[in-house]
Amino acid sequence: MSHLTIRPGRSLRGQPAVPGDKSISHRALLLGALASGTSRISGFLPSEDCRATLHCLRALGIGIEETNATTLLVQGRGLWGFSAPAEPLNCGGSGTTMRLLSGILAGQSMTAVLSGNTQLSRRPMARIVDPLRLMGAKAADTEGHAPLIFEGGGLRGLDYTLPMASAQVKSALLLAGLYATGSTTVREPAPSRDHTERMLRAMGCQVQVVAAADDGGPQEGVANSITVLPCQPSSLPEIVVPGDVSSAAFLLSAAVLLAGSDISLVGVGVNPTRSGALDVLRAMGARIRMDHRRENGGEPAADLSVQAAGLRATEIGGDLIPRLIDELPLLALVATQAQGVTLIRDAAELRVTETDRIDGTVAELRKMGAEIDARPDGFVIRGPTPLAGATVHSHGDHRLAMTLAVAGLLASGETRVLDADCISDSFPGFAPTLRQLGAEVR
């Protein structure tokens, strides 16, 4: 079990590289495999989670050449070109791998099993399997969890309203819709990350997104409807994966909180369905600039720069939550240094991620002196509160591990983050990046 040791007190300065977007890396592999022809992926995130998707696709007969760690050539075999796997497909700890592959396997004329590690096997999967069954899939879960078993295709279109906003469930149903007879429509209660829709459209598929207010007036509990028609995606000559805004948020937040800091990040994804953390940091008083906006494959990117600033409390909830669900433990830490009481609500989904991120965040930040309380659906944080170095535990959660490392940069005395190797799930090279910026991390 590895650990990180962090010493406080140094400002951060520089222009570090941000690893490729995790969500887009998964989808680039999956849609590249579904396409007819070769797709080149640059900026790929070589994390444990994304490599789980890569390994599963290879087990399904997809040729993937690794030119280097971040550049791949995917030999797409079309919708029906997958081979039956010889053994269960191991998704490791990646919920994205399991849920999105479920949508593809539901349409295949073969038997396949999806399994995962202990953490993934605790996460809810009936939310995927149940609507796929409504589409006609022969699919089974294990008391609502993995392993998942798929036996043959024969899908029909579906009009389905998600009980909660979920980009993974939405994406699974849209991918299954490529195989279905007729159209497939997914209605979501709040806008969730839309990388799948953007990439499908860039690959020539018909995807229609309609806001409820533009479709004959507001519909109770529905923000958007997304419709896809059966389609064979075309390969893209190159898929450029932007920097991951969730990973960038840890560096930006550290710079905002450490006096004298001034950092710049080049080519970060700023998809509005993902950039809620930037909006919240600005609302709290952070000075974040966004320059050189551009777009590739339908995905917007920009260069970000930030300087240290004083912060004020805020309230985070409602439709904002799906746009920053991964960054909420980090924002809870930021709130410990803001003036006033910050409330984070409507985020009960945090209890069924890699770990219970609500209880884990509260337990570990309290060890460092934070005034933070858990709610069933979030946190209450009082600030500003000085933090003290402590020995804390990641609970095997990469985002909590990075949150605690940032906390260590602010604290008085030394902080040790136990079980820190999980950081490689989303940000390989996190500790060297902090050292590059001037932090004392080992």
Question: By C-alpha distance, which of 265, 98, 282, 222 is closest to 172?
Answer: 98
Q: What is the distance between the alpha carbons of residues 192 and 223, in angstroms, rounded to a whole number? A: 10
Tokens 């240290």 -> residue = 308
Q: Within 13 A of 341's CA, how many CA atoms are on the CB side? A: 5
Beta bridge partners of 268: 243, 302
Q: What is the distance between the alpha carbons of residues 88 and 111, in angstroms, rounded to a whole number? A: 10
CB count in 10 Å sphere of residue 29: 26
Q: What is the distance between the alpha carbons of residues 174 and 154, in angstroms, rounded to a whole number? A: 15
Of 21, 194, 303, 326, catalytic: 326
Q: What is the distance between the alpha carbons of residues 357 and 334, in angstroms, rounded to a whole number? A: 16
Phi, psi of 152 (to 5 degrees): 90, 165
Amino acid at 199: M
In the 8-state DSSP scheme, what is residue 84? P
* 141 catalytic residue (yes or no): no
Q: How far is CA 171 from CA 159, 186, 200, 219, in A?
A: 14, 9, 10, 22
Question: By C-alpha distance, which of 338, 366, 299, 334 is closest to 41?
Answer: 299
Q: What is the distance between the alpha carbons of residues 132 and 155, in angstroms, rounded to a whole number? A: 8
Q: Which residues are catalytically annotated? A: 326
